[in-house]
Amino acid sequence: MNVRALVFDVFGTVVDWRGGVAREVSRLLGPAVDATALADDWRGRYVPSMERVRSGELPWTPLDALHRSSLCSVLADAGLAPVPDDVQDELVLAWHRLDPWPDVVPGLRRLSRRFVLAPLSNGNVALQVGLARRSGLPWDCVLGAEVVRHYKPDPEVYDSAPELLAVPPSSVVMVAAHVDDLVAARARGLRTAYVHRPDEFGGRVVPPASDPEADWSVASFEELAETLGA
Amino acid sequence: MNVRALVFDVFGTVVDWRGGVAREVSRLLGPAVDATALADDWRGRYVPSMERVRSGELPWTPLDALHRSSLCSVLADAGLAPVPDDVQDELVLAWHRLDPWPDVVPGLRRLSRRFVLAPLSNGNVALQVGLARRSGLPWDCVLGAEVVRHYKPDPEVYDSAPELLAVPPSSVVMVAAHVDDLVAARARGLRTAYVHRPDEFGGRVVPPASDPEADWSVASFEELAETLGA
Protein backbone atom coordinates (compact mmCIF):
# COMPACT_ATOMS: atom_id res chain seq x y z
CA MET A 1 0.00 0.00 0.00
CA ASN A 2 1.44 3.31 -1.06
CA VAL A 3 -1.25 5.89 -0.39
CA ARG A 4 -0.11 9.48 -1.04
CA ALA A 5 -3.34 11.48 -1.20
CA LEU A 6 -6.99 11.31 -0.20
CA VAL A 7 -9.68 13.16 -2.14
CA PHE A 8 -13.15 13.61 -0.76
CA ASP A 9 -16.70 13.84 -1.89
CA VAL A 10 -18.14 16.70 0.17
CA PHE A 11 -21.96 16.91 0.24
CA GLY A 12 -23.07 14.13 2.56
CA THR A 13 -19.57 12.74 3.06
CA VAL A 14 -17.84 15.72 4.71
CA VAL A 15 -20.78 18.00 5.50
CA ASP A 16 -24.42 17.60 6.48
CA TRP A 17 -26.10 19.42 3.59
CA ARG A 18 -29.65 18.66 4.75
CA GLY A 19 -29.33 20.10 8.24
CA GLY A 20 -27.32 23.10 7.05
CA VAL A 21 -29.60 24.05 4.18
CA ALA A 22 -32.69 23.63 6.37
CA ARG A 23 -31.13 25.88 9.03
CA GLU A 24 -30.47 28.65 6.49
CA VAL A 25 -33.91 28.26 4.91
CA SER A 26 -35.52 28.71 8.33
CA ARG A 27 -33.35 31.71 9.05
CA LEU A 28 -34.08 33.42 5.74
CA LEU A 29 -37.68 32.37 5.00
CA GLY A 30 -39.04 32.03 8.54
CA PRO A 31 -40.42 29.21 10.68
CA ALA A 32 -43.62 28.72 8.66
CA VAL A 33 -41.69 27.09 5.79
CA ASP A 34 -41.04 23.31 5.91
CA ALA A 35 -37.29 23.77 5.73
CA THR A 36 -36.21 20.13 5.49
CA ALA A 37 -38.77 19.43 2.77
CA LEU A 38 -37.41 22.41 0.86
CA ALA A 39 -33.83 21.19 1.38
CA ASP A 40 -34.78 17.72 0.11
CA ASP A 41 -36.54 19.14 -2.94
CA TRP A 42 -33.60 21.43 -3.75
CA ARG A 43 -31.15 18.56 -3.40
CA GLY A 44 -33.40 16.42 -5.60
CA ARG A 45 -32.77 18.79 -8.49
CA TYR A 46 -28.98 18.58 -8.10
CA VAL A 47 -28.27 15.54 -10.27
CA PRO A 48 -30.70 16.54 -13.06
CA SER A 49 -29.21 20.06 -13.17
CA MET A 50 -25.68 18.70 -13.54
CA GLU A 51 -26.91 16.23 -16.14
CA ARG A 52 -27.83 19.18 -18.37
CA VAL A 53 -24.17 20.25 -18.26
CA ARG A 54 -22.80 16.72 -18.60
CA SER A 55 -24.95 16.08 -21.68
CA GLY A 56 -23.85 19.30 -23.35
CA GLU A 57 -27.31 20.89 -23.21
CA LEU A 58 -25.79 23.67 -21.08
CA PRO A 59 -22.23 25.04 -21.33
CA TRP A 60 -20.05 24.77 -18.23
CA THR A 61 -21.98 26.26 -15.30
CA PRO A 62 -20.65 26.29 -11.70
CA LEU A 63 -22.77 24.67 -9.02
CA ASP A 64 -23.69 27.99 -7.39
CA ALA A 65 -25.40 29.01 -10.63
CA LEU A 66 -27.18 25.64 -10.95
CA HIS A 67 -28.36 25.99 -7.35
CA ARG A 68 -29.60 29.52 -8.06
CA SER A 69 -31.50 28.35 -11.09
CA SER A 70 -33.13 25.32 -9.43
CA LEU A 71 -34.04 27.40 -6.37
CA CYS A 72 -36.52 29.41 -8.42
CA SER A 73 -38.45 26.24 -9.26
CA VAL A 74 -38.19 24.92 -5.70
CA LEU A 75 -39.71 28.09 -4.28
CA ALA A 76 -42.45 28.21 -6.92
CA ASP A 77 -43.38 24.55 -6.41
CA ALA A 78 -43.52 25.14 -2.64
CA GLY A 79 -46.11 27.84 -3.32
CA LEU A 80 -44.05 30.47 -1.59
CA ALA A 81 -44.72 34.13 -2.25
CA PRO A 82 -42.14 35.76 -4.53
CA VAL A 83 -38.80 35.75 -2.73
CA PRO A 84 -36.62 38.81 -3.44
CA ASP A 85 -33.51 38.26 -5.55
CA ASP A 86 -31.12 39.21 -2.78
CA VAL A 87 -32.72 36.66 -0.43
CA GLN A 88 -32.41 34.01 -3.15
CA ASP A 89 -28.73 34.93 -3.59
CA GLU A 90 -28.26 34.54 0.16
CA LEU A 91 -30.07 31.19 0.13
CA VAL A 92 -27.59 29.89 -2.47
CA LEU A 93 -24.83 30.67 0.03
CA ALA A 94 -26.46 28.20 2.44
CA TRP A 95 -24.39 25.60 0.55
CA HIS A 96 -21.22 27.47 1.60
CA ARG A 97 -22.27 27.31 5.28
CA LEU A 98 -22.79 23.62 5.94
CA ASP A 99 -21.41 22.01 9.07
CA PRO A 100 -19.13 18.97 8.91
CA TRP A 101 -20.09 15.72 10.63
CA PRO A 102 -18.52 15.63 14.13
CA ASP A 103 -15.72 13.18 13.20
CA VAL A 104 -14.56 15.18 10.16
CA VAL A 105 -12.22 17.83 11.55
CA PRO A 106 -10.38 15.54 14.03
CA GLY A 107 -10.16 12.83 11.37
CA LEU A 108 -8.84 15.17 8.67
CA ARG A 109 -6.29 16.64 11.08
CA ARG A 110 -4.87 13.18 11.71
CA LEU A 111 -4.94 12.24 8.03
CA SER A 112 -3.24 15.51 7.08
CA ARG A 113 -0.11 14.60 9.01
CA ARG A 114 0.59 11.80 6.56
CA PHE A 115 -1.40 12.42 3.37
CA VAL A 116 -2.23 15.20 0.95
CA LEU A 117 -5.94 16.03 1.33
CA ALA A 118 -8.31 17.74 -1.11
CA PRO A 119 -12.01 17.92 -1.83
CA LEU A 120 -13.04 16.32 -5.15
CA SER A 121 -16.58 17.59 -5.22
CA ASN A 122 -19.10 18.94 -7.68
CA GLY A 123 -19.25 22.09 -5.56
CA ASN A 124 -17.38 25.06 -7.00
CA VAL A 125 -14.08 26.38 -5.67
CA ALA A 126 -15.55 29.37 -3.81
CA LEU A 127 -18.05 27.06 -2.11
CA GLN A 128 -15.26 24.73 -0.96
CA VAL A 129 -13.21 27.67 0.28
CA GLY A 130 -16.24 28.91 2.22
CA LEU A 131 -16.83 25.53 3.84
CA ALA A 132 -13.16 25.08 4.69
CA ARG A 133 -12.70 28.54 6.23
CA ARG A 134 -15.92 28.18 8.23
CA SER A 135 -14.93 24.88 9.85
CA GLY A 136 -11.15 24.70 9.56
CA LEU A 137 -11.02 21.84 7.06
CA PRO A 138 -7.28 21.31 6.47
CA TRP A 139 -7.30 20.89 2.68
CA ASP A 140 -3.98 21.19 0.87
CA CYS A 141 -5.71 22.43 -2.27
CA VAL A 142 -9.17 22.44 -3.85
CA LEU A 143 -9.71 19.97 -6.68
CA GLY A 144 -13.00 18.98 -8.29
CA ALA A 145 -15.57 19.75 -10.95
CA GLU A 146 -14.94 23.47 -11.51
CA VAL A 147 -11.20 23.00 -11.99
CA VAL A 148 -11.78 20.65 -14.93
CA ARG A 149 -15.21 21.98 -16.00
CA HIS A 150 -16.78 18.55 -15.81
CA TYR A 151 -19.17 17.14 -13.24
CA LYS A 152 -18.76 13.79 -11.53
CA PRO A 153 -19.14 11.06 -12.57
CA ASP A 154 -17.36 12.27 -15.73
CA PRO A 155 -13.94 10.55 -15.81
CA GLU A 156 -12.13 13.87 -16.24
CA VAL A 157 -12.84 14.75 -12.61
CA TYR A 158 -11.31 11.56 -11.20
CA ASP A 159 -8.36 11.71 -13.61
CA SER A 160 -7.58 15.27 -12.52
CA ALA A 161 -6.68 14.27 -8.96
CA PRO A 162 -3.59 12.14 -9.67
CA GLU A 163 -2.66 14.41 -12.58
CA LEU A 164 -2.71 17.64 -10.57
CA LEU A 165 -1.14 16.03 -7.50
CA ALA A 166 1.53 14.41 -9.73
CA VAL A 167 1.13 10.92 -8.25
CA PRO A 168 -0.07 7.58 -9.70
CA PRO A 169 -3.86 6.99 -9.69
CA SER A 170 -3.39 3.94 -7.46
CA SER A 171 -1.85 6.13 -4.75
CA VAL A 172 -4.98 8.31 -4.53
CA VAL A 173 -7.96 7.26 -2.39
CA MET A 174 -11.43 8.56 -3.25
CA VAL A 175 -13.44 8.89 -0.03
CA ALA A 176 -17.24 9.03 -0.35
CA ALA A 177 -20.49 8.04 1.33
CA HIS A 178 -21.98 7.17 -2.08
CA VAL A 179 -21.33 3.88 -3.83
CA ASP A 180 -21.79 5.32 -7.34
CA ASP A 181 -19.01 7.88 -6.75
CA LEU A 182 -16.66 5.07 -5.74
CA VAL A 183 -17.60 2.92 -8.73
CA ALA A 184 -16.67 5.80 -11.04
CA ALA A 185 -13.42 6.47 -9.16
CA ARG A 186 -12.36 2.81 -9.34
CA ALA A 187 -12.98 2.82 -13.09
CA ARG A 188 -10.23 5.47 -13.34
CA GLY A 189 -7.76 3.52 -11.22
CA LEU A 190 -8.23 5.27 -7.88
CA ARG A 191 -8.48 3.38 -4.61
CA THR A 192 -11.70 3.85 -2.70
CA ALA A 193 -12.88 4.27 0.87
CA TYR A 194 -16.57 4.13 1.74
CA VAL A 195 -17.84 6.12 4.71
CA HIS A 196 -21.18 5.17 6.24
CA ARG A 197 -23.28 8.31 6.80
CA PRO A 198 -26.64 7.03 8.04
CA ASP A 199 -28.02 10.52 8.72
CA GLU A 200 -27.42 12.13 5.33
CA PHE A 201 -31.07 11.82 4.33
CA GLY A 202 -32.46 12.18 7.85
CA GLY A 203 -33.30 8.50 8.04
CA ARG A 204 -35.60 8.52 4.98
CA VAL A 205 -33.03 6.54 3.04
CA VAL A 206 -30.44 4.53 4.95
CA PRO A 207 -27.32 3.77 2.92
CA PRO A 208 -25.56 0.39 3.24
CA ALA A 209 -23.21 -0.02 6.20
CA SER A 210 -20.32 -0.91 3.93
CA ASP A 211 -19.29 -1.19 0.29
CA PRO A 212 -17.85 -4.64 -0.41
CA GLU A 213 -16.14 -3.33 -3.56
CA ALA A 214 -14.27 -0.56 -1.72
CA ASP A 215 -10.72 -0.99 -0.43
CA TRP A 216 -11.91 0.20 2.97
CA SER A 217 -15.30 0.75 4.60
CA VAL A 218 -15.42 2.90 7.73
CA ALA A 219 -17.94 4.64 9.97
CA SER A 220 -15.96 7.85 10.47
CA PHE A 221 -12.93 9.83 9.29
CA GLU A 222 -11.24 8.99 12.58
CA GLU A 223 -11.64 5.29 11.81
CA LEU A 224 -10.22 5.98 8.34
CA ALA A 225 -7.17 7.67 9.89
CA GLU A 226 -6.70 4.71 12.23
CA THR A 227 -7.08 2.24 9.36
CA LEU A 228 -4.53 4.05 7.19
CA GLY A 229 -2.04 4.40 10.02
CA ALA A 230 -2.25 8.20 10.25
CA MET B 1 -11.70 49.47 -0.31
CA ASN B 2 -13.39 46.10 -0.37
CA VAL B 3 -10.59 43.54 -0.54
CA ARG B 4 -11.81 39.94 -0.31
CA ALA B 5 -8.87 37.86 -1.51
CA LEU B 6 -5.12 38.07 -2.02
CA VAL B 7 -3.35 35.97 -4.65
CA PHE B 8 0.39 35.60 -4.67
CA ASP B 9 3.23 35.16 -7.06
CA VAL B 10 5.41 32.51 -5.43
CA PHE B 11 8.98 32.21 -6.83
CA GLY B 12 10.84 35.20 -5.41
CA THR B 13 7.77 36.71 -3.75
CA VAL B 14 6.90 33.95 -1.25
CA VAL B 15 9.95 31.70 -1.43
CA ASP B 16 13.69 32.13 -1.99
CA TRP B 17 14.15 29.98 -5.10
CA ARG B 18 17.85 30.79 -5.48
CA GLY B 19 18.94 29.72 -2.02
CA GLY B 20 16.69 26.66 -2.02
CA VAL B 21 17.70 25.37 -5.43
CA ALA B 22 21.38 25.94 -4.66
CA ARG B 23 21.03 24.02 -1.40
CA GLU B 24 19.49 21.01 -3.17
CA VAL B 25 22.04 21.17 -6.00
CA SER B 26 24.86 21.04 -3.44
CA ARG B 27 23.21 18.17 -1.62
CA LEU B 28 22.64 16.11 -4.76
CA LEU B 29 25.64 17.00 -6.93
CA GLY B 30 28.26 17.67 -4.28
CA PRO B 31 30.30 20.69 -3.15
CA ALA B 32 32.45 20.89 -6.30
CA VAL B 33 29.53 22.26 -8.33
CA ASP B 34 28.90 26.03 -8.37
CA ALA B 35 25.38 25.64 -7.03
CA THR B 36 24.22 29.26 -7.20
CA ALA B 37 25.51 29.63 -10.76
CA LEU B 38 23.59 26.49 -11.67
CA ALA B 39 20.44 27.84 -9.94
CA ASP B 40 20.75 31.13 -11.83
CA ASP B 41 21.24 29.37 -15.16
CA TRP B 42 18.27 27.06 -14.52
CA ARG B 43 16.07 30.01 -13.55
CA GLY B 44 17.23 31.87 -16.65
CA ARG B 45 15.59 29.21 -18.81
CA TYR B 46 12.25 29.54 -17.02
CA VAL B 47 10.69 32.35 -19.06
CA PRO B 48 11.88 31.01 -22.45
CA SER B 49 10.53 27.53 -21.60
CA MET B 50 7.09 28.92 -20.72
CA GLU B 51 7.18 31.09 -23.84
CA ARG B 52 7.22 27.88 -25.93
CA VAL B 53 3.91 26.93 -24.30
CA ARG B 54 2.43 30.44 -24.44
CA SER B 55 3.23 30.69 -28.16
CA GLY B 56 1.63 27.33 -28.92
CA GLU B 57 4.90 25.71 -29.98
CA LEU B 58 4.38 23.18 -27.14
CA PRO B 59 1.05 21.88 -25.85
CA TRP B 60 0.23 22.53 -22.19
CA THR B 61 3.18 21.32 -20.10
CA PRO B 62 3.35 21.68 -16.30
CA LEU B 63 6.31 23.53 -14.82
CA ASP B 64 7.85 20.37 -13.33
CA ALA B 65 8.20 18.99 -16.86
CA LEU B 66 9.64 22.26 -18.20
CA HIS B 67 12.13 22.28 -15.32
CA ARG B 68 13.07 18.67 -16.08
CA SER B 69 13.64 19.47 -19.72
CA SER B 70 15.70 22.61 -19.13
CA LEU B 71 17.76 20.85 -16.45
CA CYS B 72 19.32 18.58 -19.10
CA SER B 73 20.69 21.61 -20.94
CA VAL B 74 21.81 23.30 -17.73
CA LEU B 75 23.83 20.25 -16.68
CA ALA B 76 25.32 19.80 -20.15
CA ASP B 77 26.31 23.48 -20.43
CA ALA B 78 27.92 23.28 -16.97
CA GLY B 79 30.10 20.48 -18.31
CA LEU B 80 28.91 18.07 -15.65
CA ALA B 81 29.35 14.36 -16.14
CA PRO B 82 26.12 12.54 -17.07
CA VAL B 83 23.75 12.83 -14.11
CA PRO B 84 21.54 9.75 -13.59
CA ASP B 85 17.84 10.14 -14.38
CA ASP B 86 16.74 9.54 -10.80
CA VAL B 87 19.05 12.29 -9.55
CA GLN B 88 17.67 14.66 -12.19
CA ASP B 89 14.13 13.76 -11.08
CA GLU B 90 15.13 14.54 -7.52
CA LEU B 91 16.71 17.84 -8.58
CA VAL B 92 13.39 18.91 -10.14
CA LEU B 93 11.84 18.45 -6.71
CA ALA B 94 14.23 21.12 -5.38
CA TRP B 95 11.53 23.55 -6.59
CA HIS B 96 9.04 21.88 -4.20
CA ARG B 97 11.44 22.40 -1.26
CA LEU B 98 12.09 26.12 -1.23
CA ASP B 99 11.99 28.08 2.00
CA PRO B 100 9.77 31.13 2.42
CA TRP B 101 11.26 34.52 3.30
CA PRO B 102 11.16 35.01 7.10
CA ASP B 103 8.16 37.40 7.09
CA VAL B 104 5.96 35.14 4.96
CA VAL B 105 4.41 32.69 7.42
CA PRO B 106 3.62 35.25 10.15
CA GLY B 107 2.32 37.69 7.52
CA LEU B 108 0.11 35.11 5.79
CA ARG B 109 -1.28 33.94 9.14
CA ARG B 110 -2.41 37.47 9.91
CA LEU B 111 -3.80 38.04 6.41
CA SER B 112 -5.67 34.72 6.54
CA ARG B 113 -7.83 35.89 9.42
CA ARG B 114 -9.47 38.43 7.16
CA PHE B 115 -8.86 37.44 3.54
CA VAL B 116 -8.96 34.40 1.28
CA LEU B 117 -5.38 33.55 0.28
CA ALA B 118 -4.13 31.55 -2.70
CA PRO B 119 -0.99 31.22 -4.77
CA LEU B 120 -1.35 32.44 -8.37
CA SER B 121 1.92 31.10 -9.68
CA ASN B 122 3.31 29.45 -12.77
CA GLY B 123 4.34 26.53 -10.55
CA ASN B 124 2.12 23.45 -10.85
CA VAL B 125 -0.38 22.37 -8.22
CA ALA B 126 1.75 19.55 -6.77
CA LEU B 127 4.67 21.96 -6.42
CA GLN B 128 2.50 24.48 -4.53
CA VAL B 129 1.15 21.72 -2.29
CA GLY B 130 4.71 20.61 -1.55
CA LEU B 131 5.83 24.14 -0.65
CA ALA B 132 2.76 24.74 1.51
CA ARG B 133 3.01 21.48 3.45
CA ARG B 134 6.74 21.98 3.99
CA SER B 135 6.39 25.45 5.52
CA GLY B 136 2.79 25.66 6.69
CA LEU B 137 1.64 28.26 4.17
CA PRO B 138 -2.05 28.80 5.02
CA TRP B 139 -3.51 28.83 1.50
CA ASP B 140 -7.27 28.41 1.15
CA CYS B 141 -6.86 26.82 -2.28
CA VAL B 142 -4.28 26.59 -5.05
CA LEU B 143 -4.93 28.73 -8.11
CA GLY B 144 -2.54 29.45 -10.96
CA ALA B 145 -1.21 28.37 -14.30
CA GLU B 146 -1.90 24.64 -14.20
CA VAL B 147 -5.55 25.13 -13.23
CA VAL B 148 -6.20 27.15 -16.41
CA ARG B 149 -3.44 25.64 -18.57
CA HIS B 150 -1.99 29.04 -19.35
CA TYR B 151 1.18 30.65 -18.07
CA LYS B 152 1.39 34.16 -16.69
CA PRO B 153 1.29 36.77 -18.08
CA ASP B 154 -1.55 35.27 -20.16
CA PRO B 155 -4.76 37.05 -19.09
CA GLU B 156 -6.54 33.72 -18.43
CA VAL B 157 -4.46 33.22 -15.29
CA TYR B 158 -5.38 36.58 -13.74
CA ASP B 159 -9.04 36.25 -14.79
CA SER B 160 -9.28 32.85 -13.13
CA ALA B 161 -8.72 34.23 -9.62
CA PRO B 162 -11.91 36.33 -9.30
CA GLU B 163 -13.83 33.80 -11.37
CA LEU B 164 -12.94 30.78 -9.20
CA LEU B 165 -13.24 32.75 -5.96
CA ALA B 166 -16.58 34.18 -7.15
CA VAL B 167 -15.73 37.78 -6.30
CA PRO B 168 -15.26 40.93 -8.44
CA PRO B 169 -11.78 41.44 -9.95
CA SER B 170 -11.40 44.72 -8.04
CA SER B 171 -11.71 42.84 -4.73
CA VAL B 172 -8.71 40.63 -5.52
CA VAL B 173 -5.15 41.83 -4.83
CA MET B 174 -2.26 40.37 -6.82
CA VAL B 175 0.86 40.35 -4.61
CA ALA B 176 4.22 40.09 -6.35
CA ALA B 177 7.84 41.17 -6.18
CA HIS B 178 7.89 41.67 -9.96
CA VAL B 179 6.54 44.76 -11.65
CA ASP B 180 5.63 42.96 -14.90
CA ASP B 181 3.36 40.54 -13.03
CA LEU B 182 1.53 43.48 -11.47
CA VAL B 183 1.20 45.29 -14.82
CA ALA B 184 -0.50 42.20 -16.28
CA ALA B 185 -2.76 41.81 -13.22
CA ARG B 186 -3.87 45.45 -13.35
CA ALA B 187 -4.76 45.04 -17.03
CA ARG B 188 -7.33 42.44 -15.92
CA GLY B 189 -8.83 44.66 -13.22
CA LEU B 190 -7.06 43.24 -10.17
CA ARG B 191 -5.61 45.45 -7.46
CA THR B 192 -1.89 45.13 -6.90
CA ALA B 193 0.59 45.04 -4.06
CA TYR B 194 4.32 45.19 -4.68
CA VAL B 195 6.68 43.50 -2.25
CA HIS B 196 10.34 44.52 -2.24
CA ARG B 197 12.54 41.41 -2.22
CA PRO B 198 16.11 42.74 -2.51
CA ASP B 199 17.72 39.31 -2.06
CA GLU B 200 15.88 37.38 -4.77
CA PHE B 201 18.84 37.50 -7.13
CA GLY B 202 21.50 37.47 -4.43
CA GLY B 203 22.29 41.14 -4.96
CA ARG B 204 23.22 40.75 -8.64
CA VAL B 205 20.04 42.57 -9.62
CA VAL B 206 18.37 44.82 -7.08
CA PRO B 207 14.69 45.44 -7.81
CA PRO B 208 13.12 48.87 -7.19
CA ALA B 209 12.11 49.64 -3.59
CA SER B 210 8.52 50.35 -4.66
CA ASP B 211 6.17 50.27 -7.64
CA PRO B 212 4.50 53.67 -8.08
CA GLU B 213 1.73 52.06 -10.16
CA ALA B 214 0.75 49.54 -7.46
CA ASP B 215 -2.01 50.19 -4.94
CA TRP B 216 0.42 49.33 -2.17
CA SER B 217 4.20 48.88 -1.92
CA VAL B 218 5.56 47.07 1.11
CA ALA B 219 8.79 45.52 2.36
CA SER B 220 7.22 42.42 3.94
CA PHE B 221 4.02 40.39 4.23
CA GLU B 222 3.72 41.61 7.82
CA GLU B 223 3.72 45.20 6.58
CA LEU B 224 1.08 44.19 4.02
CA ALA B 225 -1.11 42.72 6.78
CA GLU B 226 -0.70 45.91 8.80
CA THR B 227 -1.51 48.08 5.77
CA LEU B 228 -4.66 46.10 4.95
CA GLY B 229 -5.85 46.09 8.56
CA ALA B 230 -5.49 42.33 9.08
A172-201 pLDDT, tens digit each = 999 999 999 999 999 999 999 999 999 999
Predicted local confidence at residue A6, as pLDDT: 98
Mean pLDDT, rounded, for B21-37: 96
Predicted local confidence at residue B81, as pLDDT: 81
Mean pLDDT, rounded, for A80-96: 95
Is it the case that residue B1 has pLDDT exceeding 80? no
**Are A140 and B146 in contact (CB < 8 Å)?**
no
Closest CA to A191 of A220, A166, A211, A219: A211
Is it the case that residue B225 has pLDDT exceeding 80? yes
CB-based contact, A142 to chain B, within 8 Å: yes
Predicted local confidence at residue A203, as pLDDT: 84
Provide CB contacts within 8 A for A36, sequence distance 6+. A18, A22, A202
| Chain A residues closer than 8 Å to B146 by CB | 164
CB-based contact, A172 to chain B, within 8 Å: no
Distance from C-alpha of A141 to C-alpha of B6, rounded to nearest angstrom: 16
Distance from C-alpha of B165 to C-alpha of B115, rounded to nearest angstrom: 11
- Peptide bond preceding A82 in cis form (omega within 30 of 0): no
Domain boundaries in chain A?
A: 5-16+98-227, 17-96
Predicted local confidence at residue B203, as pLDDT: 84
Confidence bin at A204 (pLDDT 50/70/90): confident
For domain B17-96, give the CATH superfamily: Putative phosphatase; domain 2 (1.10.150.240)
Confidence bin at A36 (pLDDT 50/70/90): very high
Best B4, B66, B125, B131 member to test A by mutation, with max A CBs in 10 Å, is B125
- Name the DSSP letter for residue B32: T
Confidence bin at B141 (pLDDT 50/70/90): very high
Predicted local confidence at residue B33, as pLDDT: 95
Nearest to B126 among A62, A124, A166 (CB): A166
- CATH 3.40.50.300 describes domain A5-16+98-227: no
| Domains B5-16+98-227 and B17-96 equal at CATH topology level | no
The yes/no answer to whether this complex scores an ipTM above 0.90 is: yes
Nearest to B141 among A62, A64, A141 (CB): A141
CB-based contact, A80 to chain B, within 8 Å: no
Q: How many Å lie between the alpha carbon of A141 and the closest alpha carbon of chain B?
A: 5
Nearest to A116 among B64, B129, B166 (CB): B129
Predicted local confidence at residue A151, as pLDDT: 98
Cα A170 to its chain centre, rounded Å, is: 22
CB-based contact, A211 to chain B, within 8 Å: no
